[in-house]
């Protein structure tokens, strides 16, 4: 725990997944959650945080809402009626820009229903001072307008206001570009005004160097080929540009993939001929490059992961499953390892994962430091140290540099 316990703040969680928001709350408030609620379908993710609590000798009650009867819910409402804050990580596949759905279908996706179910349960049963959940950036945009309207109807039903707070992990001290939206329900008819946050963020090399040499998971990867010296693209780049091939790539873009670089430099066909003349070429690579040449000639995009490398200069882009397969270390000839991804999500260095299936759950999470800052704002709100607007629903955009300006919804 990072600070003295906030003695007057009691908090609980809903849908913790692997625990980013809960760990942030513990670091900020000084106590573990009093209770955790979730649903059966999220247990495979939740159990990783529950295991971490057990390893720390914390026994936090965990209830699956869809297994509770009305009597049990009524009893729990009495037991936990005085919680100040409940926090959650509701699934965002419906609104995520990474979704394969169209914008229109993202608005209507059943994945969005978890936001409504959880809000009905938390606000209707426990009535905390603040209920906050983290979601996709689309919740803040026109794509999320229909979702916001439903959330606002729930807020009115239970006598709450809402502040939508858009931010990016880059503003919170971690070099990961991860725009997100926090939906903050506040008891009463006027929405709170939270401060803007813009912390210093180190570059990716300095940040990764913070990882102690003796911690685990630095030899674990999501891919079976972590080292890239023998990759065709690396050999080709070494022949063309020598040991400074990274610098050549980053001259084109600060966030760039190997195939985009070849395309931008007019080297894609050269690479294809080089592959054909190299007896050690993987047939899959030859097939992939031929596919890319065909697609780009048609003005179309493509999605490939096999030996497809991505390099970043100052910060990496959102940690998601397919990017975890592609990101390479900024100076070492290897993919990024699991401990590095956990660190980029702000997790403590004693947090353990045990197999590849668990590794991919890192991305289904919220960065700890981002949520720490949001919870700090909520603590100040609960203590009476933040102003209240004269509107029931407002939007605060932490991505804009000017002083706090809010968009009032009504």
User: Does residue 101 carry a pLDDT above 50?
Assistant: no
Domain match, 193 and 272 both: no
Can you read off the two tokens belonging to residue 68? 């509770």
338-339-343-345 Cα dihedral, nearest 10 degrees:
30
Domain match, 150 and 36 both: yes
Contacts of 206 (CB under 8 A, 6+ apart): none
pLDDT band at 275 (very low <50, low <70, confident <90, very high): very high
Domain match, 195 and 225 both: no
Length of the chain: 410
- Alpha-carbon distance of 349 to 330, in angstroms, equals 21
Domain match, 145 and 90 both: yes
Can you read off the two tokens belonging to residue 19? 């625990």
- Residue 140: inside a domain, yes or no? yes
Q: How many domains does the chain have?
A: 2
Beta bridge mates, 134: 89, 182
- Angle at the Cα of 45 (from 337 to 220), degrees rounded to 5? 15
**Residue range of the domain that includes 160:** 11-200+365-408
- Residue 354: inside a domain, yes or no? no
Domain match, 20 and 123 both: yes
How far the first Cα of the chain sits from its last, in Å, is 40
What CATH number did the domain enclosing 103 receive? 3.40.50.150
Owner of token pair 């300095």: 206
Domain match, 378 and 316 both: no
Domain match, 191 and 298 both: no
Domain match, 194 and 226 both: no
pLDDT band at 5 (very low <50, low <70, confident <90, very high): low
pLDDT band at 104 (very low <50, low <70, confident <90, very high): low
31-32-33-38 Cα dihedral, nearest 10 degrees:
160
- Residue 344: inside a domain, yes or no? no
- Residue 358: inside a domain, yes or no? no
Can you read off the two tokens belonging to residue 297? 């000639």
Single out the residue of 400, 379, 383 nearest to residue 24, CA to CA: 379
Domain match, 228 and 191 both: no
- Residue 93: inside a domain, yes or no? yes
What is the pLDDT, as a whole number, of residue 98? 45
Q: What is the mean pLDDT of the chain?
A: 93
Domain match, 309 and 386 both: no
């Amino acid at each position: 725990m990072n600070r003295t316990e906030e003695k007057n703040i009691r908090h609980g969680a809903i849908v913790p997944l692997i625990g980013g928001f809960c760990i942030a709350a513990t670091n900020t408030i000084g106590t573990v959650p009093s209770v955790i609620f979730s649903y059966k379908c999220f247990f495979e993710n939740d159990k990783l945080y529950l295991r971490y609590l057990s390893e720390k000798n914390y026994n936090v009650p965990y209830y699956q809402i869809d297994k509770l009867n009305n009597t049990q819910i009524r009893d729990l409402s009495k037991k936990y009626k005085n919680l100040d804050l409940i926090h959650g990580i509701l699934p965002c596949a419906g609104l995520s820009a990474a979704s394969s759905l169209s914008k229109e279908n993202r608005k209507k996706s059943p994945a969005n229903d978890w936001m409504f179910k959880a809000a009905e349960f938390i606000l209707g049963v426990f009535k905390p001072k603040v209920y906050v959940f983290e979601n996709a950036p689309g919740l803040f945009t026109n794509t999320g307008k229909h979702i916001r309207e439903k959330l606002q109807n729930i807020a009115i039903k239970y006598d709450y206001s809402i502040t939508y707070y858009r931010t990016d992990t880059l503003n919170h001290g971690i070099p990961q570009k991860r725009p997100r939206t926090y939906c903050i329900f506040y008891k009463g008819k006027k929405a709170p005004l939270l401060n803007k946050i813009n912390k210093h963020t180190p570059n990716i090399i300095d940040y990764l160097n913070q990882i102690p040499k003796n911690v685990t998971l630095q030899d674990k990867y999501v891919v079976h080929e972590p080292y890239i010296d023998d990759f065709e693209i690396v050999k080709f780049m070494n022949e063309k540009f020598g040991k400074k091939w990274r610098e050549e790539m980053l001259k084109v873009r600060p966030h760039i993939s190997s195939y985009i670089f070849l395309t931008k430099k007019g080297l894609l066909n050269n690479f294809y001929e080089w592959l054909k003349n190299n007896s050690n070429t993987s047939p899959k690579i030859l097939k992939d490059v031929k596919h890319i040449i065909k697609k780009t000639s048609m003005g179309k995009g493509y999605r490939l992961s096999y030996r497809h490398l991505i390099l970043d200069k100052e910060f990496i882009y959102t940690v998601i499953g397919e990017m975890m397969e592609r990101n390479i270390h900024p100076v070492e000839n290897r993919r990024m390892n699991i401990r590095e991804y956990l660190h980029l999500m702000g997790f403590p260095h004693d947090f353990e994962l045990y197999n590849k299936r668990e590794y991919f759950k890192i991305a289904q999470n919220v960065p700890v430091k981002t949520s720490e800052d949001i919870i700090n704002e909520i603590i100040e709100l609960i203590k009476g140290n933040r102003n209240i607007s004269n509107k029931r629903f407002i939007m605060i955009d932490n991505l804009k540099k000017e002083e706090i300006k809010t968009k009032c919804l009504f």
